[in-house]
Structure 1
Amino acid sequence: MKKRRLLIRTTILAVLLIALCYTLYANFFTSKETVAAGKKAPDFVLQDLQGEKHRLSDYRGRGVFLNFWGTYCKPCEREMPAMQRQYEKYKEQGVDILAVNVDETNFAVRQFVKEYGLTFPVMIDKGSQVQNVYGIDQLPATYLIDKNGSVVDVFLGGLDESKIKEYMDEIKP
C-alpha cells in the first residue's frame, strides 16, 4: 500500500514538474511573433461600442492608424485628444483611426470615450486575441498601415501631436 502511494505521488510530482518546465520554456525561450514594418497587417474583425463590426481589410485603399490602448494607461490617455484632433483633419484625406482597447469592460471604455469626446471607431478586444496576434506586450502600441494593408511602421509608447500628424501624413493615400 505504501509503495503504491509513493508511486502515485511520484507520478503526480513528475507531471507537475514537466508542466512547470514547459511553461518556463514557452515563456522565456520561445520568441513571440510580432507584426513588423514591411509585413501584411493581420486581418481581424472587432465590434465597436455601437455594435458595428469593423474588419481591417475593409479599410483597404485608406491609411489606417491602428492604436492599441487601455483606460489605465497614462500615455494612452495623453495621446487620445491629439489623435482625435488629427482624425478630424485627416479622415477626409483617406486616413482612419481604429482604436483597439485591450480587454476592458464596456462601461469603462464608454466612460473614457465620452470623457474625451472620441469620434473614431473604438473597439474592445475581448480576450486580447488581436493583441496576441500582433504580439503586443506594452501599451500604447501604434501600427501604421498603408492603403495596401501593409505595416509601414510600428511605434511602442505614447505619441505627441506632432508625431501623430507626421504618421498620418506618412500613411495618407
Structure 2
Amino acid sequence: MTLLFKQTTTLKQILTVIFLSLLIITQSYALDKLPRGIIYQDGRDAPPLLLKMLDGDVYNITESKGKWVFVHFWATWCGPCRKEIPTIQAIVNKFADSHLDITIVNTAESEDTVFNFLGLLAPDINTLMDEDGLATEKWQPRGLPATFFVDPNGKIRYLALGGRPWDKADYLQFLQQLKNKP
C-alpha cells in the first residue's frame, strides 16, 4: 500500500510540474504575441481624463467604465502622428458601438490648427482638446504619439509608443481581442 501511495504522489507531482510548465509557456507565448510596439503595463490606475472635444461636447473617461479605452495622445507637428492618424480614422467605424472606445487627445494646440489638420486627414475623428497640456502631463506619455489601453476597471494594461499601423492585421486582431474582453 505504501508503494502505491508513493507512486501516486510522485505521479501527481510530475503532472503538477508539467501543468505549471505549460501554464508558464502559454503565458509567455501570449505576451510574445502582442503586436510590435505594444508593451504590457502594471495595471496602475488611469489618471483622470475630463476634456472638451473639438465639437464642444465634454468627455469623461469614467463614462467608459466597463469598456476598454484606447487613449491616444498626438499633435499636428508630430511626424509619426501625421502618418498614424489616418490608420486611426480607418478603425474608428470598425469599433463603433463595441466594448472598445477610441479616444484621441490633442496636446496643447489651438482648435483652428487641429480642425484644419483633421479635416484633411481624418474628418470623422472628434478629438479631445488638451489645450493647456495638463491632462497630458498627468498621463505622462514618454513622447508623441503614445497610446494607452485602459481596461474596463480603469487600469492601464498596455502602452504603444510611437506611431502604429492600427489598420494592419496584427493590430486589428489585438484590438478585436480587447473589444471582445469584458
TM-score normalised by the shorter chain: which range applies?
A: 0.7 to 0.9
Counterpart position of 2:114: 109
Counterpart position of 2:178: 171
Provide the aligned C-alpha RMSD in A. Answer: 1.6
Encode CA deviations 1:119-147: one digit per residue, 9 max, x unaligned.
Answer: 23301112210111111241001001122
Structure 2: distance between partners of 1:86 and 1:66? 14
SS of structure 1 residue aligned to 2:133: helix
1 or 2, which has the higher helix percentage?
1
Counterpart position of 2:128: 123
User: Contact between 2:53 and 2:59, CA under 8 Å: does it hold in 1?
Assistant: yes
TM-score by length of structure 1 reads 0.73
Which 4+ runs in 1 deviate beyond 2 A? 117-121, 161-164
Out of 149, 152, 155, which is 1:147 matched to?
A: 152
Structure 2: distance between partners of 1:147 and 1:77? 29
SS of structure 1 residue aligned to 2:95: helix
SS of structure 2 residue aligned to 1:41: coil
Structure 2 stretches of 5 or more lacking a match?
A: 1-40
Aligned length: 138
Structure 1 stretches of 5 or more lacking a match?
A: 1-35
Structure 2: distance between partners of 1:136 and 1:97? 17
Counterpart position of 1:47: 52
Counterpart position of 2:139: 134
Counterpart position of 1:92: 97
Structure 1: distance between partners of 2:130 and 2:52? 8
SS of structure 2 residue aligned to 1:79: helix
Matching residue's letter, 1:119: D
Go from structure 1 to structure 2 and tell me whether the alpha carbon gap of 1:109 and 1:145 turns closer, same or farther (over 3 Å shift): same
Matching residue's letter, 2:100: V
User: Contact between 2:118 and 2:125, CA under 8 Å: does it hold in 1?
Assistant: no
Go from structure 1 to structure 2 and tell me whether the alpha carbon gap of 1:170 and 1:43 turns closer, same or farther (over 3 Å shift): farther
How many percent of aligned residue pairs carry the same amino acid?
A: 28
Q: How does 1:15-26 map to 2 (within 5 A)?
A: none
Matching residue's letter, 2:138: V
